Amino acid sequence: MPITSDSTVAEVLDDYGKITRAELKNWLPKGDPEDYLYGPMSDYPMRGGRMFRPSLCIATAKVFGASLEQVIPAAVSIELLHNALLIHDDIEDESDERRGKPTLHKKIGTPLALNAGDSLAFLSLRPIIRGSASMGSDSIVRILEEFDQMAQQTAEGQALDLGWRRDNHIELCEADYLKMVLKKTCWLTTLFPIRLGALIGSGGRANLDSLFNFAFFLGAAFQIQDDVLNLIGNHERYGKELGGDLLEGKRTLMLVNLLELSSSSERVRIKAILDTPRDARSDASVSWLRSAMIERGCIEYAKELAHGLAGAASHEFDKTFKELPESSDKAFLSKLPSWVIERS
């Protein structure tokens, strides 16, 4: 069924996701060493996933004037890099599950998983480089500089997330949380796909910085919804262990909000729970944390903030994209703010 302006977000994700995945398979090397490298590199990309990032890049590029063929290499690069970083994130977070199955390092051990992630990260540059080879050196350099900026911002965000947890840092406010999310989530999830799409679609003429607000609000709403789903989602559809963020001590919006609302004695208790090594953290203390978040309205608060951010993203979209011609891709983009907060 061809995509039209009436297509749902799920339908477009399914369509662009299939196209991206079919092309992505061609970029995954085969052969030796199969068990130690190329099998593990293909594992996460072949598990599925929503394909939100590549679809966002494809739709943006087409809105700005690209053909599907022109933007596919960029979409493949984004999805490959996302999967590479998931492998490393799962090691860093000691996560057990990814897309409904054991994480890669649980399956094959940390050393081989780390190496497969490295190889997939370098591979992620290949489609974008080959795809832009005919564009002239200015375009190649601009595209690679976009990639470079995103990689640096993502590493900064990941460093904040990991560092705050390592040091059991609890003096955090909502602004700290949003700064972390901007870097850790938004650059790879929304800013880079949108900027790269606009760059490719416009042949370098679009003002990429004007797209910042839409991308940031959309990405932040996406991450907060993810925080919420981790706590109260449907395990089968979510694909990760529920409450994993609590076990991993992640600085989610709910946790930051709970800390802000807590008395100093409660903060001491929360800090002690977070300080317990993951394996030693009792079910009772995790349940207490979850209940406190519910009782204090932290989950409701997170949902409201995600709602507000999605509304702001919608507003920014209308403002920024108003001069661009109507199309099924523009309709898809306009529906994303609602979708990110409604998805389960």
Residues 37-66 that bind its own copies (CB under 8 A): 37
Does 106 help bind its own copies (rule: CB under 8 A)? no
Give the type of residue at 144.
Answer: L
Give the type of residue at 188.
Answer: L
Q: Which stretch binds its own copies (CB under 8 A): 103-111, 189-197, 215-223, 295-303?
A: 103-111
Residue 222 near residue 190, CB atoms below 8 Å: yes
Q: Which of 82, 88, 195, 250 binds its own copies (CB under 8 A)?
A: 88
Does 122 help bind its own copies (rule: CB under 8 A)? yes
Q: Which stretch binds its own copies (CB under 8 A): 132-140, 185-193, 281-289, 303-311?
A: 132-140
Does 304 help bind its own copies (rule: CB under 8 A)? no
Does 189 help bind its own copies (rule: CB under 8 A)? no
What 3-state DSSP class applies to 14? helix
| Peptide bond just before 102 cis, omega within 30 deg | no
Does 119 help bind its own copies (rule: CB under 8 A)? yes
- Tokens, residue 177: 């949380």
Q: Which stretch binds its own copies (CB under 8 A): 96-104, 140-148, 193-201, 269-277?
A: 140-148
Does 96 help bind its own copies (rule: CB under 8 A)? no
Q: Which of 1, 2, 166, 175 binds its own copies (CB under 8 A)?
A: 166
The Cα–Cα gap between 265 and 287 comes to: 18
Give the type of residue at 115.
Answer: N
Does 93 help bind its own copies (rule: CB under 8 A)? yes
- Shortest distance (Å) from residue 342 CB to its own copies: 32
The continuous run of DSSP H or E covering 98 comes out as strand 97-98
Residue 54 near residue 78, CB atoms below 8 Å: yes
Q: Where are the alpha helices (DSSP H) in 94-211?
A: 104-108, 110-123, 125-132, 137-166, 174-181, 192-202
Does 242 help bind its own copies (rule: CB under 8 A)? no
Residue 177 near residue 302, CB atoms below 8 Å: no
Which are the contacts of 188, defined by CB distance < 8 A and separation ≥ 6? 53, 78, 81, 82, 85, 150, 154
Does 28 help bind its own copies (rule: CB under 8 A)? no
Q: Which stretch binds its own copies (CB under 8 A): 162-170, 209-217, 237-245, 331-339?
A: 162-170
Could you list the residues that contact its own copies (CB under 8 A)?
29, 32-33, 35-37, 85, 88, 91-93, 108-112, 114-116, 118-119, 121-123, 125-126, 129-130, 133-137, 140-141, 144-145, 148, 151-152, 155-156, 158-160, 162-163, 166
